Amino acid sequence: MEISNAVISLTSLAHETRLAVYRLLVQAGDAGLPAGSIADALGVPPSSLSHHLKDLKYAGLVACTRDQRSLIYTANYDAMSGLLDFLLDDCCGGHPEICDPRTSPNAAGDAPIPSE
């Protein structure tokens, strides 16, 4: 991932409503949610939600498909994985596996940091 793409993604997520939308879509899984359900679940007016969804789509963090008259939004897991990989790429003295609980052999995350 290029730094400019990371900045766009992080900027998009750096808003309470957009972060809540993204987290809700992650919980919804591959089925996603229609825009109206997102608005209802978060108590966001549809006009405001439209703006937030547009920003998340621009960042590549969400995708949208049409199902008859509804727009269904889903989280783009590959984009988030790419962002996390970018953030963890240079961490922990070149051993990102100890910083990232998704790949750490120690589920508790308390593996020692290797010495140089």
Question: pLDDT digit string (tens) for 53-85?
Answer: 999 999 999 999 998 888 999 999 999 999 988
Q: What are phi and psi of 99, to 5 degrees?
A: -90, -25
Q: What is the pLDDT of residue 10?
A: 93
Q: What are the sequence ranges of the domains in the chain?
A: 3-79
User: Whole-angstrom Cα distance, residue 113 to residue 91?
Assistant: 11
CATH number of 3-79: 1.10.10.10
| Closest to 50 measured CA to CA, from 18, 24, 81 | 18
Mean pLDDT, residues 9-32: 95
- Give the residue-averaged pLDDT of 96-112: 57
Give this prediction's pTM. 0.77
